[in-house]
Amino acid sequence: MENFGKKLCCAVLFVLILLPLLPGSGLAATGNDKIVIMLDPGHGGGSIGTAAGDIGEKVMTLRLATLIRERLQENGNFAVYMTRETDTDVSLPQRAVLADRVNADLLISIHFDGSPNPGDRGVTAYTSVFDQWALVELGADICNGLSAATGLSSNGVRQKHDTNGYYWNEAFQWDAKDKSLGTLSDYYGIPTWCAKFGIPSMIMEHGFFSNDGDRARIFADGTLERMADAEAQAIIRYYTGHTHTYGEAEQDFPSNCMFTGKISSRCVRCGHRQNVQSLAPAPDRHYWEITDQAAASCGVDGYTQYTCRITSNLNEKGYPAENHTWRETIPAPTEHEYVQTEHDPAGHGHDGYAVYRCTNCASSFRETEKGEPHTYEFVEHTEPSCTQAGGNVYQCTACGDTYTDGTPAPGHTFDPDGEIYIAPGCDTPGCRRQVCTVCGYMEEETIEATGHIFAEEEVQAAPACTTDGLQIKKCTVCAGIKKKILPATGHVWDEEKIEKAPGIFYSGKRVAVCKNGCGAARETLLHPRILTEGVWYVVAAAALAWAAALGLLIYMRCRGRKNFSGKKRSISALPEDSAEKGNK
């Protein structure tokens, strides 16, 4: 009995030593530290997600998440929370914030898939593109477990970089449209927002509502329970199937103007956190980006408008936050800084100028440079003419430039009574002439011809069958006429009549007479019937020839039979000895 007790104690001790090393043993990592799982039932409220008939995705995700929570809680090593337990819509940032509040080791967002392509099917895991928050191994294990439990195919683990130009800023642990950062952010919202709080995450798609085969399996009795079993077991294996080894405390995410950062020690194998502590708050640590600016000009201040990327990003995604902004004023220059942009130097007889523009604004001004004036002397006096000004003529003694200071040219003087007018004709132009009474200049204006005014058309000769007619118009003003040829009408033939019928060997004739009464006739030759009907004559002749030949043949055969009978009689009368010779 004593030996049995010793052996029992040794066995219990042995089991206690090996139990932590057994896969899936379910022991807590360190003391009473729980592994914190945040389950996120996708969609909710006004966000239905994909649908199968009257059942929306949001209903199925809540049912499945509840089942997974029950199985993890039964294990005893997990503290399980949910982003929603009712039909409410939770924003993407809020889901990550809720996970951060409970110091989650993992956030799994539960979904069902849909696609316009009915051939798309299977379960899929989507995780972060960044290694420190990616869960490739766990995602693959969940996909394989779901496939084995339900018969759904597995698409494995997928990662996708952002396609809208957002890059990852390591210092702020945030994303922005800044290509200089170099590394594209995550495409999907859950991995993106969880990475900002240093939480590993995954989106699990549990088959396609849009695929007939997947939909039948998903809604079969007991499928959700089998999914929950497979998914919970994969999570349990991942977090409890090894001895946890924790590294040095490291920053999970930095403090900023909206959130207080955290620091923790993580298991080097599964990432389970312990000793999670808050960092010092940093309400003044903003992630500034330029959203508007204007250059300063003379008399007008410029500015640069800054908006905090953190608060603007939260507001864009439906998380209530007051935007942090500030404006940097760029003082206007106190004085214009002008530079010369144009210059035309002054010279003899003309002024010059220079244009100056401010380098800070659009202000400009023009300066005039006085040139050397002309020195004019009186040269002569001239009387004005109709077209030339008169007066005193002055000339510059330096350059020879002249000008006249006197009476302007008065222009021509025409006498209305002396006007000559020639009226225009139908096809000849007229004119109006005036002569200046001072200089004799003649001014002439041409008046266009009026054109003929023709009366009604008159037919001088009607057109005939083969001759053209003539139509004329006479001008009512002059003797002019306008001719028009009326083309010949051509014959209009009556119905043809046979004048002479054709014979077998001679031609006939058919005649048509013009209806217009011009006496013209059109004859048509009718060929001999031997040419048109000859084939029948040939046939008749051939038939007669054949009949004659047949009669002759019958006649000859009849005569032949009579001759053949006489020969038989002469043969039978041959002598006996001759017949015997023939038979041998």
Q: How far apart are CA 311 and CA 309, in angstroms?
A: 6
Q: How far apart are CA 485 and CA 64, in angstroms?
A: 102
Does residue 5 sit in helix, strand or coil? helix
Residues 394 and 316 in one domain: no
Alpha carbons within 13 angstroms on the beta-carbon side of residue 66 total 9
Residue type at position 88: T
What number of other Cβ atoms are within 10 A of residue 261's Cβ? 21
Q: How far apart are CA 240 and CA 227, in angstroms?
A: 20
394 lies in some domain:
yes
560 lies in some domain:
no
- What is the pairing mode between strands 430-435 and 442-447? antiparallel
CA separation, residue 353 to residues 212, 345, 364 (Å): 86, 6, 13
- Tally of structural domains, the chain: 7
Tell me which residue range forms the domain holding 299. 288-330
251 lies in some domain:
yes
pLDDT in tens, the chain (584 residues): 344 344 334 433 333 333 333 333 333 333 348 999 999 999 999 999 999 999 999 999 999 999 999 999 999 999 999 999 999 999 999 999 999 999 999 999 999 999 999 999 999 999 999 999 999 999 999 999 999 999 999 999 999 999 999 999 999 999 999 999 999 999 999 999 999 999 999 999 999 999 999 999 999 999 999 999 999 999 999 999 999 999 999 999 999 999 999 999 999 999 999 999 999 999 999 999 999 999 888 878 899 999 999 999 999 999 999 999 999 999 987 778 889 989 999 888 888 999 999 887 778 889 998 888 888 887 788 878 888 878 888 888 888 888 788 788 888 887 777 787 788 888 888 888 888 888 878 888 888 888 888 777 777 788 888 888 888 888 888 877 888 888 888 888 888 778 777 887 788 888 888 878 787 888 888 878 777 766 676 677 788 888 988 888 888 888 765 554 444 444 444 444 433 433 33
Measured in degrees and rounded to the nearest 5, phi and psi for residue 354 equal: -140, 140
Residues 123 and 93 in one domain: yes
Tracing tokens 């053949």 back to the chain, one arrives at: 564
Nearest 5°: CA angle at 146, between 22 and 97? 85
Residues 55 and 172 in one domain: yes
314 lies in some domain:
yes
pLDDT attached to residue 400? 82
179 lies in some domain:
yes
Residues 136 and 224 in one domain: yes
474 lies in some domain:
no
- SS3 string, 345-370, reads CCEECECEEEEEEECCCCCEEEEEEC
Q: How far apart are CA 103 and CA 36, in angstroms?
A: 7
Q: Are the beta carbons of 274 and 264 closer than 8 angstroms?
A: yes
Q: Are the beta carbons of 106 and 38 closer than 8 angstroms?
A: yes
For the chain, give the longest Cα–Cα distance.
182
Which positions ≥6 away from 27 have C-beta within 8 Å?
19, 20, 77, 240
Residues 198 and 150 in one domain: yes
Q: How far apart are CA 374 and CA 295, in angstroms?
A: 49
Q: How far apart are CA 27 and CA 436, in angstroms?
A: 129
Q: Are the beta carbons of 424 and 445 closer than 8 angstroms?
A: no
Residues 148 and 77 in one domain: yes
Alpha carbons within 13 angstroms on the beta-carbon side of residue 71 total 20
Q: Are the beta carbons of 91 and 189 closer than 8 angstroms?
A: no
pLDDT attached to residue 419? 80
78 lies in some domain:
yes
What number of other Cβ atoms are within 10 A of residue 269's Cβ? 15
Q: How far apart are CA 279 and CA 198, in angstroms?
A: 13
Q: How far apart are CA 62 and CA 49, in angstroms?
A: 12
Instruction: Identify the DSSP state of 528.
Output: -
Nearest 5°: CA angle at 162, between 157 and 167? 125
Can you read off the two tokens belonging to residue 144? 């394989």
Q: How far apart are CA 380 and CA 22, in angstroms?
A: 131
Residues 314 and 349 in one domain: no
Q: How far apart are CA 294 and CA 317, in angstroms?
A: 29
Residues 162 and 234 in one domain: yes
Residues 222 and 343 in one domain: no
pLDDT attached to residue 537? 67
User: pTM of the full predicted structure?
Assistant: 0.57
484 lies in some domain:
no
Residues 227 and 262 in one domain: no
Alpha carbons within 13 angstroms on the beta-carbon side of residue 403 total 7
Residues 67 and 176 in one domain: yes
Tracing tokens 């009689």 back to the chain, one arrives at: 569
pLDDT attached to residue 1? 38
Q: Is 386 exposed, middle or buried (0-12, 13-18, 19+ CB in 10 A)?
A: middle
Q: How far apart are CA 160 and CA 35, in angstroms?
A: 27
Residues 86 and 220 in one domain: yes
What number of other Cβ atoms are within 10 A of residue 429's Cβ? 12
Alpha carbons within 13 angstroms on the beta-carbon side of residue 377 total 6
